[in-house]
Amino acid sequence: MSFSLYPGEYLDSVYRIDFDRLYEEGYRGVIFDIDNTLAPHGAPADRRAVALFAKLRALGFACILLSNNKEPRVKSFAGAVGAAYMHKAGKPKPSAYQKAMAAIGTNRATTIFVGDQIFTDVFGANLAGIRTILVKPMNPKEEIQIVLKRYLEKPVLLCYRAHVRRKVQSAKGKTDQRGK
């Protein structure tokens, strides 16, 4: 299985990401997917999303929403959270991510992508060379084409988890050897 389908991290929620740590690590831009990443599919921005973007601005992050959705949906959400946006982006094309970075003035080394889908969000960001954070979908109610993709994502996530376990065990083994 290609590692380009694996996220850099896999977390329960966008609201569990340690953005303070990421800023300390030198990241300055965040590209976000919207639906089922920041809000349930089609839902407006809620107080948590607005507060998250306020916190990110206060930390010094530049943010942009990158969505394959139509402009009315993306523009409305972007207006509510105060972020730049790109609609009908064409994810997973790397050029979409490159345009988003150019729009917020960041590069591959200083940008993070956060999304909920492997085959569009993670795959495209990895192709563009951006650090990725995959989050669990916020709501199981999704359009049929996304439901079908979720079935295809399951084996990828199983392999990813096994890959992470092997890395942890390998690192633990190295630590144990140094301690002896």
* pLDDT of 180 above 60: no
Domain ranges of the chain: 3-142
pLDDT tens, position by position, 53-65:
999 999 999 999 9
Q: Which helix (H) or strand (E) segment is 9 a member of? A: strand 9-11
> Which residues are bridge partners to 63 per DSSP?
30
- Residue 69: CB partners within 8 Å, gap ≥ 6? 34, 35, 87, 88
Radius of gyration of the chain (CA): 17
Nearest to 125 by CA among 6, 40, 21, 2: 6
Q: Let me know: does 46 contact 62? Beta carbons within 8 Å.
A: no
What does the alpha-carbon distance between residue 78 and residue 81 come to, in Å, rounded to a whole number? Answer: 5
Q: Please give the biggest Cα pair distance in the chain.
A: 61
Instruction: Encode pLDDT of 11-39 as tens digits.
Output: 999 999 999 999 999 999 999 999 999 99
71-81 vs 47-59: helix axis angle to the nearest 10?
A: 60
pLDDT the model gives residue 67:
97
Record: fold of 3-142: Rossmann fold (3.40.50)
**Residue 149: pLDDT above 80?**
no
Per-residue confidence band for 1, with pLDDT thresholds at 50, 70 and 90: very low
Summarize the chain as % helix, strand, coil (round to 5): 55, 15, 30
Query: What letter would DSSP give residue 118?
Result: I
Q: Give me the chain's average pLDDT, please.
A: 90
d(CA 180, CA 174): 10
pLDDT for residue 132: 97
Residue 163's pLDDT band (cuts 50, 70, 90): confident
Q: What is the pLDDT of residue 150?
A: 66
Question: How would you classify the pairing of strands 9-11 and 29-32?
Answer: unpaired
